[in-house]
Amino acid sequence: MPLTLWPSRRRGAVLAALSALSLVLALAWGGSIAAPVGAATTRVELTRTGDAERVDALLATLGAIVEVRSGDRIQARVPAIAVPVLRRANHLVRLEPPGIFVPLQALSTSTLVGADDWVAGGLTGRGVKVAILDTGFVGYQAAVGKTLPRRVTVRSFRADGVIEGPSDHGRRAAEIIYSLAPGAELYLVSFSTVTEMSAAVDYLIAQRVEVVSYSIGYIHNGPGDGTGSVNAIVSRAANAGMAWAVASGNWAQQHWAGAFRDDNRDAINEFRPGVQQLTHAFNGGDLITLSLRWDDPWGAACTDYDIELFSPNGALVRSSRDLQDCTSNPVEALQVLATESGNYSARIIRGNSAPARRLDVIFVGSPDRGVGVSIPVPGGSLGSPADHAGVVSVGALTNALVRSEAVYSSRGPTADGRPKPEMLAPTGIGSSGSETFAGTSAAAPHVAAAMALLREAIPGIDRAGLSRELLTRGVLLPAVQDGTSEGRRLDLASTAGIGPLLPRGAERAALEGTLELGARTIEVRYRGPSGYPLRFLYRLVGDRDVAGAWVLDRATARWQGFVTGVPTAGDAIDRLSDGDALVIVLR
């Protein structure tokens, strides 16, 4: 009998089928699967839908190595042949698509926001816990004690335990916050997947972090109305009282939206009459991300669309042809490295006869070189979680002279019609040496720093009140979203009444008495300008934490109490006069 060699593609398919069959048989016989040494594994993200013990038993049987758990979410590495089994085990787990995110940095210029007046007046964000939740903090160790505080809390939720990650993106954001709110307690927290982000937020809630700076944008992670897996994590944090400043995105010129149009009935979308391809210039080596979303129900899309990506010479580079059969999300996405420089083209194909839907396309590169698509539609270009109703979405200002929304800055409306972003802030800041940090990635930490200052200025303020107060500190800008709404430019110096500031001459203020090292209670006399706020006593006791104070009211000869961090009643004492006697309680 002659020996027949199968074509490699067919041989690989048969081998894969045999491997899958052996896996199913092993499961049926109650066995377990141990991947051979060196065998291929893949990372999966799962949401538990069934009994926890049965899910753990399934993962053990498949030889899974669990990396991260957060609530019902599980991240694990499994043998590649186990993925089809997980996909079919939807009574126990749901296999989640990996989130596609992009750090939101682009080229721009800079202005300041008036925070220096607040710092000079005594407000530094002291004691306010601010987290920078990001994917990379390269260089943070060298920056500690220089462009970062001497003490920072660092935590990685990446499966590999790395804090620095692939870039300095998060470190740059942290440097902006420190420059504007130098008294804030900074948390540098890294992640690389949605499940890791969920675990990181669990930690931030446990640490009672009050403000989060988030300069990452997820592409089509939900229907665009503030829901989806990433937004569900943000909701959990917001419900715990955490305020979020979120970069709106840099995709206004790399976005297209419109109803599916097919005048010649060849099932290919026309981006404008007679134009069936959307083009974008990339350099060789760029990571190209092409994503399509349409307005079918999330998790139950019945209309089927596919996307195709073509190289500068017209050859098909890659396609995404998932089948939407009323059980999946209305999304098709692909990522590929550009092998040559030039104009790449995207095409959308309708895969069934369902009614035409409204389409939403994001077509971006990493690094982002600021080049737009051939037919840009800025409206609706937000990423997630910038579309969340409970966050302050932050767009980028053009520059110091033209104080309007930068042309690349993503904007609403959201899919459910809400205007976004709420605030515009500077970008292009020189955060370290001569380097600049730009795009909406740089804008968001400006607002996070402002939140920290306001949190210190108004003790006891909640998340919703903090957002409202922040918006009153902005200068109204007309026609922020292509004439459909209005937004505000962050300017902390634009309004009066920014909280109890230090009086003139406060640099000479002092306490007379003995400040014993390690003492918890001290009796002293205040010497300095009248009107010195009690909340700034820490400046006069060697920067130690002050729990409160008793002050002798000379008019009534009674002692009145002050508690740090608690709103002061209208008739209570909250300021000192020269010569006042105090008993200070230290933590």
Output DSSP code: residue 187: E
Contacts by 29-33 with C-beta closer than 8 Å and gap 24+?
31/61, 32/60, 32/61, 32/62, 32/63, 33/61, 33/62, 33/63, 33/79, 33/81, 33/82
Helices (H) and strands (E) in the chain, counts: 10, 32
Instruction: Let me know if residue 421 belongs to a domain.
Output: yes
3-state SS string for 206-264: HCCCCEEEECEEECCCCCCCCCCHHHHHHHHHHHCCCEEEEECCCCCCCEEEEECCCCC
pLDDT for 99: 86
- Mean pLDDT lowest among 133-142, 435-444, 495-504: 495-504
In the block, tokens 């307690």 appear at 185
pLDDT attached to residue 483:
41
Q: What percent of the chain has pLDDT over 90?
A: 60
pLDDT at 229 exceeding the cut of 90: yes
Residue 317 to residue 315: CA distance in whole angstroms: 6
Residue of 102 and 33 predicted with greater confidence: 102
Task: Provide the domain limits for residue 533.
Answer: 506-586
Per the CB < 8 A criterion, the answer to whether 69 and 98 are in contact is no
Residues 246 and 324 occupy one common structural domain: no
The confidence score (pLDDT) of residue 109 equals 32
The three-state secondary structure class of 581 is strand
Q: Which tokens in the block code for residue 445?
A: 């930490």
pLDDT tens per residue across span 367-415: 888 899 999 999 999 999 999 999 999 998 876 544 678 889 999 999 9
In this prediction, residue 429 carries a pLDDT of 55
296/338 Cα distance (integer angstroms)? 31
Does residue 498 sit within a domain?
no
Task: Return the higher-pLDDT residue of 434 and 78.
Answer: 78
State yes or no: pLDDT of 417 exceeds 90: yes
Same-domain status, 574 and 477: no
- Which of the two residues, 582 and 37, has the higher pLDDT score? 582
Q: Is the pLDDT of residue 306 over 50?
A: yes
- Residue 17 maps to which CATH number? 3.30.70
Average pLDDT (108-123) is 59
Q: Looking at the 3D structure of the chain, how many domains does it have?
A: 4
- Same domain assignment for residues 17 and 87: yes
| pLDDT exceeds cutoff 70 at 514 | yes
Range 434-452 average pLDDT? 83
Does residue 4 belong to any structural domain of this protein?
no
* Structural domain ending residue among the three candidates 47, 66, 96: 96
**Residue scoring higher pLDDT (127 or 247):** 247
Got the DSSP string for 456-467? HHSTT--HHHHH
What is the predicted pLDDT for the residue at 397? 84
- Predicted confidence at residue 111, as pLDDT, reads 34
Give the pLDDT band (50/70/90) at residue 245: very high
Domain boundary among 490, 519, 553: 490
Residue 6 covered by a domain: no
pLDDT of 428? 66
Instruction: Specify whether the CB–CB gap between 181 and 124 falls below 8 A.
Output: yes
For the range 427-431, what are the long-range contacts, defined as Cβ-Cβ under 8 Å and sequence gap of 24 or more? 427/108, 427/109, 427/110, 427/396, 427/397, 428/107, 428/108, 428/109, 428/110, 428/399, 429/110, 429/176, 429/179, 430/110, 431/147, 431/172, 431/175, 431/176, 431/179
Query: Do 457 and 535 lie in a common domain?
Result: no
- CA distances to 36, 257, 468, 509, 557 from 577, rounded to whole Å, are 77, 63, 33, 11, 15
Q: In this structure, which amino acid lies at residue 110?
A: S
Q: Which of 490, 524, 551 is the last residue of a domain?
A: 490
pLDDT at residue number 8:
37
Can you give the pLDDT at residue 115?
A: 67
What per-residue confidence (pLDDT) applies to 425?
A: 86
Lowest mean pLDDT among 76-90, 269-283, 307-321: 76-90
